[in-house]
């Protein structure tokens, strides 16, 4: 900001960084706005990358952080080429550069339209955001129906801020959400994947879920899960997973997106899994087919990257092995060497805790096994080392060589 200011440009800290500091919170990141064009920003910083097509942003790399720098934006004038309303009601327009005043009225919520000015160390409040911040209110700037149609993801953002800050959504902004929730179906599923991570992996997953259910938004993201939530066990499973996720984040423990999504989709998957094995039918193939069919259907709503969907399937596949592998020491150790064993075991505990039939004994058995077995007590590093990809490749080459010879 000082570099921009010294170079003759305006520079302001804006949005969540200002909001969180005023609330006494530690900001997750900082966004900068300026009247400098992206190309001008790039000339000022050695490590700067321009991204975006419809609206170019500058990503400045400093001290291991990425600072997003945006040029002031403005609304299009009515009738300008590039502005239009799609047949599904969503307003689409390209962004144009503007002034500070124009940038402020384009912000989504009043509490995000606060600007910190380093020239005189003041906070500029363009939309009565300080009053809403004190009152704990999330209020859209402008006409709510128009702002939601411009970008339906604002409905998810309103729910997320309500959950994160403990605020209430202003009535006029809130009552339209259930009516317009279906507009999320027009948002690229890949973008919704990022929104899901923000909603559920920021330490307020339980309250985010409450807000999404309140405003008919959860169904837009996970319709197959929503259809199962009238089942007491399914509902308990999801709610317990969200509680555990928040608890892990509070304890600074890692949380896998794959585990979260595997749990969200499990209630929809479970009815499609055979309850008993059938002779001459490969159980794993039946399960794998069910996995892939559900994930393919879910991709139309929230696009799950392949790197994540592979881990989801590993966690699910382990459920089959964990509930049928107590046939001897070697089989148990084989399951234990799986690189995703801990996630699979935690998933089994979650299922048992939610009340799935006949799993309490299985979960207790594995817990006792992990506690008492001498080979387990060598530590997870020994287990993972004995099951490294390199050693597996060496074994495979040796096996192929022996078969040929």
What integer pLDDT is reported at residue 204 of this predicted model?
A: 97
Residue 356 pairs in a beta bridge with: none
Nearest CA to 323 among 264, 371, 363? 363
- Count Cβ neighbours within 10 Å for each residue of 85-121 and write b for 16 or more, e otherwise: eeeeebbeeebbbbebeebbebbbbbbbbbbbbeeee
Residues identified as active-site: 29, 31, 108
The three-class DSSP label of residue 189 is helix
372 CB-near residues (< 8 Å, 6+ apart): none
Look at residues 145, 147, 45, 69 and name the one whose alpha carbon lies nearest to residue 105.
147
And the tokens for 58? 């500058």
Query: Tens of pLDDT along 274-329?
Result: 866 655 567 778 889 999 999 999 999 999 999 999 999 999 999 988 887 555 66
pLDDT of 96? 82
* Mode of pairing for the β-strands spanning 31-34 and 65-71: parallel
Q: Which of 116, 104, 184 is nearest to 141 (CA)?
A: 104
Q: H helices of 30-151, where?
A: 38-44, 100-106, 129-135, 144-150
Facing residues of 92 across strands? 84
Given this model, what pLDDT does residue 398 score?
Answer: 46
Place of tokens 């006494």: 24
Q: Closest by alpha carbon to 34, among 141, 117, 110, 130?
A: 117
* Nearest CA among 246, 28, 19 for reference residue 137: 19
Note the pTM of the prediction, 2 decimals: 0.83
- pLDDT reported for residue 329: 60
Q: Distance (Å, rounded) from C-alpha 270 to C-alpha 234?
A: 9
pLDDT less than 70: residues of the chain: 76-95, 275-281, 325-330, 373-405
* Residue linked to tokens 């009238």: 230
Q: What is the C-alpha R_g of the chain?
A: 26
Q: Of 319, 331, 334, 312, nearest to 392 (Cα)?
A: 334
Return all residues near 316 (Cβ < 8 A) that are at least 6 apart: 262, 266, 269, 287, 291
Q: Which domains does the chain have, with CATH numbers?
A: 1-141 (3.30.460.10), 191-373 (1.10.3090.10)
Say if CB 201 and CB 182 are below 8 A apart.
no
Residue with the two structure tokens 């308990």:
236
Q: Give the residues across from 67 on adjacent strands.
A: 60
Structure-token pair, residue 275: 């309850």
pLDDT value at position 390? 40
Q: Which residues, 6 or more positions from 341, have their beta carbon under 8 angstroms from its beta carbon? A: 318, 335, 383
- Report d(CA 14, CA 2) in Å as an integer: 15
- Looking at the chain, the number of H-run helices and the number of E-run strands are 22, 13
The enclosing H or E element of 33 equals strand 31-34
Rounded to 5 degrees, what are φ and ψ at 125?
-115, 105
Contact criterion met (CB below 8 Å) for 293 and 279:
no
Per-residue pLDDT tens for 2-24?
A: 999 999 999 999 999 999 999 99
């Amino acid at each position: 900001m000082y570099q921009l200011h010294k170079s003759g440009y305006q520079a302001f800290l804006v949005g969540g960084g200002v909001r969180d500091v005023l609330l006494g919170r530690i900001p997750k990141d900082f966004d900068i706005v300026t009247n400098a064009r992206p190309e001008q920003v790039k000339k000022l910083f050695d490590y700067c990358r321009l991204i975006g097509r419809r609206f170019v942003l500058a990503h400045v790399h400093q001290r291991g952080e990425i600072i997003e720098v945006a040029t002031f934006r403005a609304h299009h004038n009515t009738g300008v080429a590039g502005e239009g309303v799609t047949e599904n009601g969503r307003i689409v327009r390209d962004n144009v550069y503007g002034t500070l005043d124009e940038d402020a009225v384009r912000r989504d919520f009043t509490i995000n339209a606060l600007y910190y000015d380093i020239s005189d160390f003041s906070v500029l409040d363009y939309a009565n955001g300080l009053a809403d911040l004190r009152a704990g209110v999330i209020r859209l700037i402008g006409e709510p129906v128009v702002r939601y149609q411009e970008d339906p993801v604002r409905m998810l953002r309103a729910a997320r801020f309500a959950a994160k800050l403990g605020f209430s959504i202003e009535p006029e902004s809130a009552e339209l959400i259930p009516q317009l929730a279906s507009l999320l179906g027009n948002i690229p599923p890949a973008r919704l994947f990022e929104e899901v991570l923000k909603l559920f992996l920021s330490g307020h997953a339980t309250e985010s879920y409450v807000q999404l259910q309140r405003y008919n938004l959860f169904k837009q993201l996970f319709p197959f899960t929503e259809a199962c939530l009238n089942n007491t066990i399914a509902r308990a499973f999801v709610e317990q997973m969200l509680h555990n996720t928040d608890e892990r984040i509070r304890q600074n423990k890692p949380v896998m997106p794959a585990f979260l999504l595997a749990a969200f989709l499990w209630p929809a998957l479970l009815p499609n899994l055979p309850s008993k094995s059938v002779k001459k039918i490969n159980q794993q193939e039946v399960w794998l087919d069910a996995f892939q069919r559900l994930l393919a259907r879910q991709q139309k709503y929230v696009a799950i990257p392949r790197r994540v969907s592979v881990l989801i399937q590993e966690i699910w596949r382990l459920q089959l092995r964990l509930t049928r592998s107590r046939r001897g020491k070697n089989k148990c150790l084989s399951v234990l060497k799986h690189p995703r064993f801990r996630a699979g075991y935690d998933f089994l505990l979650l299922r048992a805790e939610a009340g799935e039939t006949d799993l309490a004994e299985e979960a207790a058995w594995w817990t006792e096994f992990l506690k008492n077995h001498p080979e387990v007590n060598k530590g997870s590093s020994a287990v993972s080392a004995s099951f490294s990809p390199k050693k597996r490749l060496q074994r495979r080459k040796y096996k192929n060589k022996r078969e040929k010879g």
